[in-house]
Amino acid sequence: MLRAVVGWEPSFSARRGFFVLITLLEKELRRAVSAVLPDVEKPDVRVQPCQNPEFGDYQTNSLMSLAKARGLNPRQLACDVKDRLSVQDWCESVEVAGPGFLNFRLRPEAVIHLIATALKGDHLFFTTQSPAQRVVIDFSSPNVAKPMHVGHIRSTILGDCLARVYRLLGHQVITDNHIGDWGTQFGKLIVGWKEQLDTEALERDPLAEMDRLYKDVHQRCENDPALLEQARQELVKLQQGDPENLEIWRRMTSYSQDRFAQLYKRLGVKFDFSLGESFYQPHLEGVVQELLDRGIAQYSEGAVVVFFEDHPELAGQPAIIRKRDGGFNYATTDLATLAYRLENWKPGEIVYVTDGRQQLHFKQVFEIFRRWHPEARIKLTHVWFGAILGEDGRPFKTRSGETVKLSDLLEEAKERAYGVVSEKNPELGESRKQKIAECVGIGAIKYADLLPNRQSDYIFSWDRMLSLNGNTAPYLLYAYTRIRSIFRKLREVDPNASLKVQVDPAKARLAAQEEWVLAKQLLNFGFVLKAVAEDYRPNYLCNYLYDLAGQFAKFYETCPVLKASEEEREVRLALCELTGRVLKLGLETLGIETIERM
C-alpha cells in the first residue's frame, strides 16, 4: 500500500463499489487495530465527520473506548494504530489529538475523484449494504369503516420512508398493511347498516357514513342493553359465517379499501401486501392451542393468558390471548401474523411502525414469540413514535373537538401551499400552480412529520411547516429549484454548453472554502443513509439535507457559477449538479417529490 505519490492514481478500482470514504477508513482502521491487537475479534471502530473543521474532516473516537476496555493507554494505542494505517490514498494527514482522538484530513484529489466518478454516474456517495436482508415493514394499519385520521399519518409516512431507505441500501423490502378489518366494532356497524343506512351518503363518502353509523349505535348502546346485545348477536353471526352479515362486511371492507387506495396514491405510498386481521382468523384457534400445549399459556380467570413472572420488565403484566368469552384479541392476531410471515416470507427482520402506546403490547408479543419459536433467527423491531399535538399542546383536534381526517388535512395543506405559491409567483399558470401546491403541501406535511426525533411528541403548525425559511420542505424544494434554474439559464448564456456536466480530475480544484465544504457534505450522504437505517430515524436524513441546502446557499452566494471563468465554472457546475442529485434522491427517499420550478 505504501507507495510514492507521483501524480495521484487512486486505488479505488481495486475496491469497486466503495464510494464512502468513511466506510473505507473504518475498514482500514479495523485492519490496523487487528494488527496492533491481534486478539481483538472484529473491532468495533466507527469513523464520523468532525463537527469542528479545525480538527480535520473525519475522526474516530473508538480507540479510546477500546483502550479503556483493555486497560491500555489510549493515546499510545492511537499512536500505534496510526503507525499501522495506510490511508495516504485518501488522507493527506492523520493526527492523534487530545486523549486519543484520531483525526483525518482528506486529500483534495480524493474528494475530486469522488466528485468526478459521481458525475459519471458510477455512484452517488453511498453503497448498498451487504449482505442484503429481507425486511418486512408493517405500517399504516387503518381500520375498516373508519376514516383515516392524523393518528395514521406518522405510521404511514415513517414506514414508507423506512421502506424507501432500506430499498435504496439494497435490501429486499416487503411492505404489509395490517388493516383492522375484523373485530368487535362490526357488531355495532352491522346493526347500524341494517337499521339506518343512507345509501346516498354511502356513495358520496362511504367512510363518513360508516363512521356515522358506528358512532350512532355506539352511543345508543351506552344506555340500551338490548341494543348492545343485538350488536353482539350480529357479531357472533358474522363470525359464524352468516351470509348476509358476511356480505355487509365485505362491502364495508371494499368501500374502505377503495378509499384507502385514493389516499395512498396521493401520498405516493405503496404496499406489497394488505393482509388484514381477518386473513389470520382461521389460524387463531391453533395458535392458542399450541401455546397452551407447550405450557407457554395457561388458563386464568377463564381467559387464556401468558405470564412473564421471570421477566423483570413484564412481570405482573400478563398478556391475554383468548378472552373469557372465547374471542381472540389483537395479541393473538399479531402472533398468528408473525408466524405467517416467518413461514412464508422468511425475513431477517420485521419492523412494526406504530405509536408509542403499544410498546408494552409488542414487548409481550415479541417475548411470547421467542418462547414459542426459540429457534427463529429473526430480529423483531418496534419502531414507535410520539403523538401529534395541536398548538395548544393537547392532542391535535379540529375546533369542534373531532379528530382530523387525513383527507381534510392533505387538502388544507394543498390549499395553504397554493396560497403561498400564488403570492410569491403569481405569473405561473394555473395548472402549474396546482401541481406545485400539491407537491409543496404534501411534502411539507411529510417533512414536518419526519423531522423531529420520532420518539418525541411534536406540535403541528401549518405556519412552521410551510415557511420558506428554516428546516422545512419548501426550503429544500426551493434550493432544488434554484439549482435547476442555473441549468436552464446555462443554455441561455451558452447555447453550446454541454448538458452533461463533467470534470477533469487532473485539473479541477476546489479553491473556495464554500466549494470544499459543500463537496465534503456531498460525500457524507451514504454515512447518513446508513445511520437512518440503523436507528430507524429519518430525521438524520432531514437534517443532513437541510445542512446540504444551507451549504449550497452559502456557496451560491459567494461563488458565481455562470459568470465564473471556464475553469471555475466546470467544478461549480459539478457541485450544482451533484447537490441537485443528492437533494432529489434524498427528498425522494423521504417520500417527497421534487419540482423544477416553484
Compose the 163-192 pattern: x for residues touching RNA by CB under 7 A, - for all others. Answer: -----------------x--xxx-------
Three-state SS string across 500-512, please?
CCCCCCCCCCCCC
Judged by CB under 7 A, the residue of 119, 208, 227, 305 near RNA is 305
Residue 50 binds to RNA (criterion: CB under 7 A): yes
Distance from C-alpha of 320 to C-alpha of 312, rounded to nearest angstrom: 19
Judged by CB under 7 A, the residue of 280, 478, 516, 525 near RNA is 478
Neighbours of 195 (CB within 10 A): 12
Residue 49 binds to RNA (criterion: CB under 7 A): yes
Residue 590 binds to RNA (criterion: CB under 7 A): no
For the CB of residue 5, give the shortest distance to RNA in the complex, in Å.
25
Residue 590 burial (C-beta neighbours within 10 Å; 0-12, 13-18, 19+): buried
Neighbours of 188 (CB within 10 A): 26
Question: Identity (one letter) of the amino acid at 368?
Answer: I
Residue 526 binds to RNA (criterion: CB under 7 A): no
Judged by CB under 7 A, the residue of 285, 543, 570, 593 near RNA is 543
Site for RNA in 230-269 (CB under 7 A): none
Residue 537 binds to RNA (criterion: CB under 7 A): yes
Site for RNA in 496-525 (CB under 7 A): none
Judged by CB under 7 A, the residue of 33, 221, 303, 545 near RNA is 303
- Which span (121-129, 247-255, 318-326, 367-375) binds RNA, by CB under 7 A? 318-326
Residue 431 binds to RNA (criterion: CB under 7 A): no
Q: Which residues pair with 312 in a beta bridge?
A: none
For residue 552, the SS3 value is helix
Compose the 121-160 pattern: x for residues touching RNA by CB under 7 A, - for all others. Answer: ----------------------x-----------------
For the CB of residue 370, give the shortest distance to RNA in the complex, in Å.
18
Residue 359 binds to RNA (criterion: CB under 7 A): yes
Neighbours of 237 (CB within 10 A): 16
Residue 54 binds to RNA (criterion: CB under 7 A): yes
* CB closer to RNA out of 202 and 436: 436
* CB closer to RNA out of 56 and 192: 56
Site for RNA in 268-297 (CB under 7 A): 277
Judged by CB under 7 A, the residue of 420, 519, 523, 575 near RNA is 420
For the CB of residue 375, give the shortest distance to RNA in the complex, in Å.
28
DSSP one-letter string for 207-225: HHHHHHHHHHHHHHHTT-H
Contact 218, 229 (CB under 8 A): no
Site for RNA in 61-80 (CB under 7 A): 61, 64-65, 68, 74
Residue 557 binds to RNA (criterion: CB under 7 A): yes
For the CB of residue 88, give the shortest distance to RNA in the complex, in Å.
20
Name residues whose C-beta falls within 8 Å of residue 93's C-beta, 6 or more positions apart in sequence: 56, 104, 105
For the CB of residue 203, give the shortest distance to RNA in the complex, in Å.
27
For residue 466, the SS3 value is coil
Contact 354, 156 (CB under 8 A): no
Q: In 3-state terms, the chain is what percent helix, strand and coil (to 5)?
A: 55, 10, 35
* CB closer to RNA out of 200 and 309: 309
Q: How far apart are the first and last CA of the chain?
A: 50
* CB closer to RNA out of 143 and 177: 143
Residue 389 binds to RNA (criterion: CB under 7 A): yes
* CB closer to RNA out of 202 and 490: 490
For the CB of residue 173, give the shortest distance to RNA in the complex, in Å.
22
For 391-421, b where at least 16 C-beta lie within 10 A, e where not — what string?
eeeeebeeeeeeebbbbebbeebbebbbebb
Distance from C-alpha of 87 to C-alpha of 26, rounded to nearest angstrom: 11
* CB closer to RNA out of 11 and 455: 455
Q: Which of 582, 581, 568 is CA-nearest to residue 500?
A: 581
For the CB of residue 133, give the shortest distance to RNA in the complex, in Å.
20
For residue 240, the 8-state DSSP code is T
Distance from C-alpha of 440 to C-alpha of 459, rounded to nearest angstrom: 19
For the CB of residue 448, give the shortest distance to RNA in the complex, in Å.
9
Residue 459 binds to RNA (criterion: CB under 7 A): yes
Angle between helices 525-535 and 21-36 (to 10 degrees): 70
Residue 99 binds to RNA (criterion: CB under 7 A): yes
Site for RNA in 202-231 (CB under 7 A): none
Q: Which of 47, 12, 28 is CA-nearest to residue 527?
A: 47
Distance from C-alpha of 92 to C-alpha of 78, rounded to nearest angstrom: 17
Judged by CB under 7 A, the residue of 88, 172, 281, 358 near RNA is 358
482-485's contacts with Cβ under 8 Å and 24+ in sequence apart are 482/556, 483/552, 483/576, 483/577, 483/579, 483/580, 483/583, 484/580, 484/596, 484/597, 485/597
For the CB of residue 374, give the shortest distance to RNA in the complex, in Å.
24
For the CB of residue 411, give the shortest distance to RNA in the complex, in Å.
20
Judged by CB under 7 A, the residue of 94, 238, 320, 578 near RNA is 320
